[in-house]
Structure 1
Amino acid sequence: MSTLQLQALAGLPALGLLAWVLGGCRRGVRPRVVVAGLLGQLLVAAALLHIPPLRAGFALVGDGVDALARATRAGTSLVFGYLGGAPLPYAETVPGGSFILFFQALPLVLLVGALSALLYHWRILPLVVRGLARGLGWLFGLSGACNLSVAANVFVGMVEAPLLIRPWLARLTRAELFTCMVAGLATISGNMLVVYATMIAPVVPDAAGQLLTASLVSAPGAVLAALLMVPEREAAGAAGPEADAPRLYDSSMDALVRGTADGLQLLLGIMASLIVFVALVALVNGMLQPLTGWTLEGIAGLVFWPLAFAMGIPASECATVAQSLGVKVVVNEFVSYLQLAASGAAGLTERSRVILTYALCGFTNFASVGIMVTGMAAMCPERRAEIVRLGLRSLVAASIACCMAGATVGVLTAP
């Protein structure tokens, strides 16, 4: 094992220790949780990265993403013409200058949203989620409802997953509620996974498979980080995974139509968030930089430098990785992946780019916290105050969980 792999191996429990210290709860952490969390991440990642048949599945996932991207391009070319990817009516003088994010990449959300709704209606997605939930329940001993929400977050968003257990939300313990929130921020939804895989494929090998692995690895990592910060002190308060997932659609056509509508809402939300938060960061930087010489991303980069080192990144590359992590928290992971795709994270080795891909794989930013808190408070108004109080703590725990995923792949990937 190389020095950098040993560095990541030491960093993985160190990140867990950081979550425990920041939580402020000195008692109540069960040894089973620590062992299951650390070993669960390593075993899941090792299986997906080093067992040949599973590794070969990465190529199939990548082919599927490519097929979705080509199909979407056919639709956007018809609707938007050359703005959506159809042949240009003029010569492109700047390579890549004709690429328009909103018209060519983001519409993929619509197709994936429709297909996700269809897979849910056909009971395929609930079946997969139920299997993951049982595995998490065996590892951590939490209630079925909590496990179901955490497992669903591997495929759906931070609001959609709690919606699946809405009848049980009020009966979750405080630790289980916090775990659901952390899992929502520490993973990404399937539709965004496809978008990000398409974006970073030129600079990250097996991008789709890597992102899917990252989301799966982050599930036990999120539970570990959450229960280290807010240990379980009550008996599990809700049943859950044995109950059937609710029927949301009347027919396959209804699933396609409503899934497309939900995708459109997400598409417009992404567009608005990108405009507003990039503009706000630019505004704050415009005031901060002349006075201090610092930017928000630079300050956040300083904070994340030790975390980058703990993931097994060489010291010479930690500043670049830390700044990308800072952009993720201050703005969002979309911008960080855009920068990775545009520059290949200049100066990073392939191993560091893969580790960064895992660490960025989560909705860990302030805007997402607001979306999640608002959505969950609407689902469970009787616990609104508790959900709001746990909001920023869940961002911290989820950020640590994402870095744990990076450290896990750092352990298993040789320089």
Structure 2
Amino acid sequence: MADIARSLLAFLCFILVAFAVSEDRRRIPWRVVLGGLALQLAVALVLVHFPPARRAVMLANDAADALQRATEAGSGFVFGYLGGGPTPFEEKTPGAGFILAFKALPMVLTISALASLLFYWGVLQRIAGGFAWALRRSMGLSGALALGAAVHIFVGMIEAPLLIRPYLARMQRGELFALMSCGMAGVAGTVMVIYAGFVAPFLPDALGHILIASVIATPAAIAVAAVMSPWDIYKENAEAQLVVENPPTGAFDAIVKGVADGVGPLVGIVSVLLTTIALVSLVNMALAHLPQIGGETPSLQMAFALAFRPVVWLIGVPWSETPAAASLMATKTVINEFVAYRDMSGLGVETLSPRSRLILTYALCGFANFGSMGILVGGLNVMLPGRRAEVTRLGLRSILSGTLATCMSATVAGLLYGG
């Protein structure tokens, strides 16, 4: 009962935070808000406790293992021992042979090629269409917003708006913000397997949890966005269609196109990681000249970690474990979720309990950070040059809405999987 009471308090607090920064409290579409929260819980219940859905999630986890081994075969052939091939020397320090750029990131190309092939065959359209239908029926969303939100589960925060680009200019401000919030509350399919690899050593069915987190965060993100930036629900609710520029002409062409399309995200991940870590390090070097606080050197992560301590307690982490959990949430926000997942994988078993690790797996599963905000705002400004100022103002708010949505997902996970 204590866990249930804390979870209800968490949901209330998160909605109140969104309400406090709402642009127009009188216009909040409560059908969207309540429908989103109900859909999040319902989908989570189905995916966790409905045997056929649970088996499908476990199959996805097995597929992730197969993809990882297949990608290592390719990267090992191309990069040798740097990419997973046999090492010509003895590794004295465990883990020293793991080089991120050569062993983990090539998975982006494999997933991108596979996604392009599934899209050519129409598989992803059917799945996204089914979820979009559920969003429209339960929340009263427009066809364009529902479809854009649905495809966010499979593609990144820039690729999803591109697929509904003809509808973007006609979107209301709140609908555009909801689309941005979905991008910040989830992660792209191209990196899901990588993150699952980080948490797999301590969390069975790791990819299954990452998939569930991405799915259930979508209605939560729309609900939070509806409170923060309300929009009008029109009676006209026409179905939208995905739009693909230069569609592939065959299966092999789809694979080649997918690989080419994956190069951009791959370079973007490397660039954002390098630049963000460098800039945060510069700021922390400047903060290091300030007096110590509690025996620790001031840093951006420290400031955000202090704010996140009550948040991680609300979502179900024991208070004694909140320093480590809040630090991971701070890293995810200041740098990105990639580094946060990596750092969590390196923590000792005594630092976080299994349940806390599960909860944090859901809480960290989102692009809501400053680097991603820059990518999202920059991409949308190119697609919507006439709404540049509006998109820029909504950028910072989307970090908050995305974070609230992933925290709601973590709260649901803590409830469903128990103590």
TM-score over 0.5 for the alignment? Answer: yes
1:51 CA displacement: 2.1
Matches within 5 A, 1:52-201: 52-201=51-200
CA distance in 2, matches of 1:292, 1:218: 40
Q: Structure 1 residue 245: deviation in Å?
A: 4.1
Matched-pair contact (CA < 8 Å) for 1:84–1:103: yes
For residues 274-289 of structure 1, the aligned pairs below 5 Å read 274-289=273-288
SS of the residue corresponding to residue 287 of structure 2 reads helix
- Could you tell me whether the CA contact under 8 Å between 2:29 and 2:233 is conserved in 1? no
Task: Determine the structure 2 residue equivalent to 1:10.
Answer: 9
Q: Please report how far the alpha carbon of residue 235 of structure 1 lies from its aligned counterpart in structure 2 after TM superposition.
A: 3.3
Residues 225, 397 of structure 1: 8 Å contact kept: yes
Partner Cα distance (1:246, 1:88) in 2:
43
Q: Distance between the aligned counterparts of 2:202 and 2:4, measured in 1? A: 22
Partners of 2:207 and 2:353 in 1: CA distance: 19
| Aligned 8 A contact 1:47 1:54 in 2 | yes
Which of 351, 357, 380 is matched with 1:353 structurally?
357
Q: Sequence identity of aligned pairs in percent?
A: 44
Deviation, 1:229, is: 0.4
Q: What residue in structure 2 maps to residue 28 of structure 1?
A: 27
Quick one: structure 1 residues 345 and 321, their matched pair in 2 at CA, closer, same or farther if it must change by over 3 Å? Answer: farther
Q: Sort the Cα spacing of 1:346 and 1:288 in 2 relative to 1 into closer, same or farther, 3 A.
A: farther
Counterparts of residues 246-325 of structure 1 (less than 5 Å): 246=244, 248-293=247-292, 294-325=298-329
- Residue 91 of structure 2 aligns to a residue whose secondary structure is coil
- Paired residues of 1:4 and 1:313 also in contact (CA < 8 A): no
Residue 388 (1) aligns with residue 392 (2): yes
Change (3 A) 1:313 1:244: closer
Deviation at residue 55 of structure 1 after TM alignment = 2.1
> What is the Cα deviation at residue 24 of structure 1?
4.5
Provide the C-alpha distance between the structure 2 equivalents of 1:188 and 1:236, rounded to a whole number of angstroms.
31
**Is 1:168–1:239's contact at 8 Å kept on the other side of the alignment?**
no
Root mean square deviation, CA, Å: 1.7
Give the equivalent residue in structure 1 for 2:295.
none
Query: Which residue in 2 is equivalent to 1:364?
Result: 368
- Normalised by the length of structure 2, the TM-score is 0.95
For the Cα contact (< 8 Å) 2:6–2:314, is it kept in 1? yes
Residue-by-residue CA offset, 1:342-376 (whole Å, 9 max, x unaligned): 22575111111111000111101111111111111
Name the counterpart of 2:336.
332
**Residues 1:238 and 1:30: Cα distance change in structure 2 (over 3 Å):** closer
AA aligned opposite 1:381: P
- Following superposition, the deviation at residue 53 of structure 1 comes to 2.8
Question: What is the distance in 2 between the residues matched to 1:36 and 1:119?
Answer: 30
Match of 1:351, as an amino acid? Answer: R
Q: Is the 8 A contact 2:33 2:224 kept in 1?
A: no
Counterpart contact for 1:361–1:402, Cα < 8 Å: yes
Q: Work out whether residues 141 and 237 of structure 2, in 8 Å CA contact, stay in contact via their aligned partners in 1.
A: no
Structure 2 counterpart SS, 1:151: helix
Deviates more, 1:65-74 or 1:372-381: 372-381
Whether contact under 8 Å (1:185, 1:398) holds in the other structure is yes
Q: Give the structure 1 partner of residue 38 of structure 2.
A: 39
Distance across 2 between alignment mates of 1:127 and 1:385 = 35
Q: Compared with structure 1, are the counterparts of its residues 184 and 344 closer, same or farther at alpha carbon in structure 2 (3 Å cutoff)?
A: farther
Q: Tell me the TM-score normalized by structure 1.
A: 0.95
Deviates more, 1:218-227 or 1:346-355: 346-355
Unmatched runs of 5 consecutive residues or more in structure 2 = 293-297
Separation in 1, partners of 2:18, 2:139: 17
- Structure 1 residues 209-218 or 391-400, which shifts more? 391-400
How far apart are 1:35 and its partner, in Å? Answer: 2.0
Question: CA separation of 1:379/1:330 partners in 2, compared to 1, >3 Å: closer, same or farther?
Answer: same
Mind listing any 5+ residue stretches in structure 1 that lack a counterpart?
none
Measured against aligned partners, the alpha-carbon deviations of 1:178-225 in whole angstroms (never above 9, x if no partner) come to: 100100111111111111112211022211000000001101101011
Distance 2:180 2:267 in 1: 23
Match for 1:197: what amino acid?
A
Alpha carbons 1:199, 1:337 under 8 Å: kept: yes
Name which of structure 1's ranges 210-219 and 270-279 shifts more when overlaid on structure 2: 270-279
Preserved CA contact (<8 Å) 2:331 2:337: yes
Deviation at 1:408, TM superposition (A): 1.2
**CA-to-aligned-CA distance 1:277-316 (integer Å, 9 cap, x gap):** 1122122112202314311111001111222122122111
Is the deviation greater in 3-12 or in 179-188? 3-12
Q: State the 1:74 CA deviation.
A: 0.4
Please state whether the residue corresponding to 2:27 is helix, strand or coil.
Answer: coil
Deviates more, 1:129-138 or 1:312-321: 312-321
What SS does the corresponding residue of 1:106 show, helix, strand or coil?
A: coil
The DSSP-based 3-state class of the residue aligned with 1:87 is coil
CA distance in 1, matches of 2:235, 2:188: 27
Aligned 8 A contact 2:71 2:107 in 1? yes
Query: Hey, what's the Cα distance between the residues in 2 that align with 1:295 and 1:260?
Result: 39
Rounded Cα–Cα distance in structure 1 between residues aligned with 2:342 and 2:226: 32
Say if 1:118 and 1:308 are closer, same or farther in 2 by CA, change over 3 A: same
How many equivalent residue pairs?
413
Deviation at 1:410?
Answer: 1.8
- Report the 3-state secondary structure (helix = DSSP H, G, I; strand = E; otherwise coil) of the residue aligned with 1:343: coil
Match of 2:382 in 1: 378
